[in-house]
Amino acid sequence: MRMRFFSTFRQATLLAAVGLGCFTTTSCVAASTVKSDSAGALDEPVPIPPSERSLPAVIAEPYFKVSNEGLNLEGTSFDLRGNLLFVEVFGGRVFSLSPSRKLTTLVAPNKYGSAGLAIHKDGRLFVAGLGNFKDTGSLVTFSPDGRELQTVISADKGFLVDDLVFDANGGFYFTDFRGSTTEPTGGVYYVSPDLKTVTPILPHLAAANGVALSPDGKTLWITEFSKGLLHRVQLSDATTVAPFGTAITYQFTGPSPDSMRVDSAGNLYVAIYSQGRVLIFNKMGIPIRQILIPGRQQGHNLLSTSMAIKPGTDELYIVANDAKGGRGATVFRTKALAKAVLLYSHQ
């Protein structure tokens, strides 16, 4: 049974209360219940901003408990076998969650500070790393089994590589997480398909974080973590911004836009770090929907960081953690507005 979006929090609450939201042919897991008289209340630990309270909302459902610890998960991606891969930032590990919900560790703990992950068409894992979170970020690749390591962007380059997305030719864009609101030294760069040339695309950003590419490859989306901005960049080609092609389409309220994904219709999904939710924008950058993580009303599961749509489906998987709140790190699931975009890894 498909989960449907409803136009008010009260309707979304009624949906949760009656337990709709089936994801298998044999069982139906009840959605988290939120009291209808307090949904979206302004006295919550992290209230929904007034300008977004009327957006249609749906409540995601717990899918898999990764850990009882508040591991900071990131970089959600699906491989060709349907495994959901993601990284653990402070420990550097890469995890694989099988369709049967078996969790394995592909890459052991390390010092790379893994923050983003994308999969090459040849199966290699491209892992963005923040290093020491100051000046030793890197981008490395692992073989599909996590054993063979190669360096693409070395730590001595000074980047804090946070996230990446492939284009149709096998080159990729990555975000540089450096900078602050008063010293915007981060940016977005493009690495050529041969992995030899790095070209700046949009410099002078305050901790550039998420990056996504429209289905036609002509629109680049970027979140600026420290300033709370959503950038929409029109491209003439892989390394050239179109004339008058840059725009800030949205200013987020409160903390802070994180990783992003697009669907096959061009809708954009932005995880909101420290708010326990995902905002959905249309292809023009206008907010149209939102997804709420269970427990957010009580201040739990607020560190929502990343998501992925399972190829060939409209199933959306979100990773979030509860920091020190006692509920650990969890994968949540709901429905996207459209099926997954065709990723470079699946071409």
Q: How many CB atoms lie within 10 A of CB 82?
A: 14
Which structure tokens are listed for 135?
């000046």
For residue 314, indicate whether it is catalytic. Answer: no
Which of 163, 176, 258, 322 is catalytic? The answer is 258
CB-based burial, 87-97: b 16+ in 10 Å, e otherwise: bbbebbbbbbb
Residues forming the active site: 258
